[in-house]
Amino acid sequence: MGTFDEEWAAIQASARREVAAGGLLPARAPAEGTEDLGIEPDALRRAADYLENDLADEARDTVRPPAAELERAAGGVRGWETADGLVRLAESWTGKTDRLRDRLVADADIPRSAGTGLGALDQDIASQWHGGTRPWGV
């Protein structure tokens, strides 16, 4: 085991070799099965858009017709306890679906923020390596 200065010099030399061999960052996301982390920021944004625009609306639209049918059926037995139960059931389904939709829309911010953050980080690191600013001293 060497001194700190010797170990630090070895780390810097290793980083220089990696940069000379093509850089520390892959140009594209690595293939499946590698140990490298590879996330496409655009894929995260597409997932967020799907959650917010497609899946959330689909959940709402799927429940609307059965809820309307339950309310229509309740009208046919007005005055009976069954009618109150059908209305409560329709309201429950609609309420749960609205909460699910709200949750999907809110959760869409998670992959969207991650995609935006990773994209900005990739650009920042690339500009530091290719722009001459190398804060790590290599």
| Long-range contacts, 13-17 (Cβ 8 Å, 24+) | 15/136, 15/138, 16/138
Give yes or no for residue 21 having a pLDDT over 80: no
Rounded average pLDDT over 54-83? 86
Rounded average pLDDT over 91-117? 87
Give yes or no for residue 114 having a pLDDT over 80: yes
Residue 118 pLDDT class (50, 70, 90 cuts): confident
Burial of residue 62, with CB atoms counted within 10 A of its CB: 0-12 exposed, 13-18 middle, 19 or more buried? exposed
Which pLDDT belongs to residue 138? 46
Give yes or no for residue 11 having a pLDDT over 70: yes
Which pLDDT belongs to residue 38? 65
* Whether 29 contacts 35, CB under 8 Å: no
Pairwise CA distance, residues 89 & 87, whole Å: 5
Q: Taking the model in full, what pTM does it have? A: 0.52
Which pLDDT belongs to residue 79? 86
92 membership: H or E segment, kind and range: helix 81-107
